[in-house]
Amino acid sequence: MHMSEGKERIIISPNICGYVDDEHLNYHIEVQLPGVDKESIKLKMHEDSFFLKGETENTVYVGSYTICCPVKPEAAKATYKNGLLKVDVPFKDPMEDAVDVSIQ
């Protein structure tokens, strides 16, 4: 239990659905955060994982999750409406960080 202002709150992992779009270009994440105010949501994303936290008066939704393939976190787009957080993030091009090697 998490203590905040003298109240005990339940800490749980939110329901999450993550999947690849039909074109295999983007990763789509949907997170159920019932009753959470948008201002309390923290979302941090790396190319291979993300951290999420959202709070209500009685509940703290929190977790760290891996992503199947490298993504571009700086290009992620997130919206929150009616208790559902939606995140779309494009996959990283496998050749994006490739370095040209000079041949002697």
Examine the pLDDT at 40 and tell me if it is beyond 90: yes
Report the pLDDT value the prediction gives residue 5, as an integer from 0 to 100: 56
Annotate 73-90 with b (16+ C-beta within 10 A) or e (fewer). Answer: beebeeebeeeebebbbb
Please give the domain boundaries of the chain with CATH numbers for all domains.
Answer: 2-90 (2.60.40.790)
Least confident of 10-14, 22-26, 61-65: 22-26
Residue 96 pLDDT: 78
